[in-house]
Amino acid sequence: MTATATPAGLKHVPVITAPEAAALVKSGQTLLVGGFGMTGNPVHLVHALAETDVRDLTYVANNVGEAGLSGGRLLRNGQLKKAIGSFFTSNREAVAAAQEGRLEVQLIPQGSLAEALRAGGAGIGGFYTPTATGTVIAGDADVRVLNGREMVFVPALRGDVAFVRAWRADEAGNLQYRLTEQNFNRAMATAADLVVAEVEEIVPVGTIPPEQVHTPGLYVDYLVQATLTADALGSSADVKGSSKKVDEARMHMARRALAELRRGDVVNLGIGIPTLVADLITPEHGVNLHTENGMLGVGPAPEQGGALDYPVNAGKIPVTALPGASYFDSADSFGMIRGGHVDVAVMGGLQVDAHANLANWAVPGKPLLGVGGAMDLASGARRLIVLMTHTDPDGTPKVVPECTLPLTSRGAVSMIITDRAVFEFREGTLTLTELMPGATLDEVRAGTGAPFVEAL
């Protein structure tokens, strides 16, 4: 199974079976697994590994698949010792394993995870980032002030073996990804000692134009041909499997957020209430939607179909692509975010305090297992708008003097839109600027925990 040179000087990458690829992984190793949810996930390779007696793996991926799928199958078998990723709450069995002490978990913000893998593949020891400063995720990491901003150090990540998924490969191992399937695959293909690419088809050298090669073949050691079916896509298999909780109060919030968006804005919409904004955007608004798993130019959800037919957004929901859309990998996507190239982020919230601090990813009594890209977006977007209900169901205010929940970001919130009011931070002061339909000033005063200035 050793690579041989072709007459043209290119190596010829061996084609092996999924069980042969699984045999390359040894107990105790670190395994990198591409994919965002089940999109671009090398599910056939991982399922073949689940048929072996390999144990004590450190599993590096955005999440541990879904229950019984991909990494979820390894987890169910007891083959994982540790998981490193950004969002484990999408797999209820991973949450249970962490709570019961059967799985050690290291949570990393999604953008930091992607950049750590890119650094590992580029021979860089690590990097400093503003993401997660002042939060429990930063832990005891080295903190420095660079260019006037507090930043934490994140070490590079590498693996012993990487399993990645691409659409096509040529015989020299050059890989081409489809739609939003680049995600973590591109960085992971560079960051392991041994790389196996699962692909839909293998074509002769020269079939893939050089400008359409996303991962050069020098990174790839083995190829496995495997046909993807809807069964391997889990919750992204069909758009009908997704649903949104819609009521008039939430729609008022979404419409008010839309009024803040300007023609030409690059906008990232978080999960939850912010996704409703996407359904209101028309081509006439001229807004360019960005999704952190690697797409710019997101269109509305299709009426039917799934991730075999369409790209997916950060909520793992199939979407359409507008004219002029582009695709890229997760590392580039978060470079756009951290680099200040996203104009507006619209996110959900659990608490916002009088100092413009946001808490939206963890609640007391539940494991800290799902930060996703929230920390990167909150600290990186030029403007942050938070959509949330004004109070918890029991009437507890969510606009508070000081956040008591784990922070997502410090001092980043520009505007709060609730079902009762709109607040802005004007010169650092929480300011009531508008009442929502049906709300009264007395209700807002009674339901707001933080002091604020009235500028109605």
Give me the half-sphere count of Cα atoms (radius 13 Å) on the Cβ side of residue 158: 14
The answer to whether residues 195 and 164 touch, using CB atoms and an 8 Å cutoff, is yes
Instruction: Name the one residue in this structure whose structure tokens are 């500028």.
Output: 455
Output the 3-class SS for the chain.
CCCEECCCCCEECCECCHHHHHCCCCCCCEEEECCECCECCCHHHHHHHCCCCCCCEEEECCCCCECCECHHHHHHCCCEEEEEECECCCCHHHHHHHHCCCCEEEECCHHHHHHHHHHHHCCCCEEEECCCCCCHHHCCCCEEEECCEEEEEEECCCEEEEEEEEEEEECCCCEECCHHHCECHHHHCCCEEEEEEEEEEEECCCCCCHHHCCECHHHCCEEEECCCCHHHHHHHCCHHHCCCCCCHHHHHHHHHHHCCCCCCCEEEECCCCCHHHHHHCCHHHCCEEEECCCEEEECCCCCCCCCCCCCECCCCCECCEEEEEEECEHHHHHHHHHCCCCCEEEEECCEEECCCCEECCCCCCCCCCECCCHHHHHHHCCEEEEECCCECCCCCECEECCCCCCCCECCCEEEEECCCEEEEEECCEEEEEEECCCCCHHHHHHHCCCCCEECC
137, two tokens: 């995720």
Of the candidates 66, 115, 181, 292, the residue annotated as catalytic is 292
245: CB partners within 8 A, 6+ apart: none
Active site (annotated) includes residue 424: no
The answer to whether residues 15 and 3 touch, using CB atoms and an 8 Å cutoff, is no
125, two tokens: 């020891």
Phi, psi of 300, deg, nearest 5: -65, 160
Cite the active site residues: 292
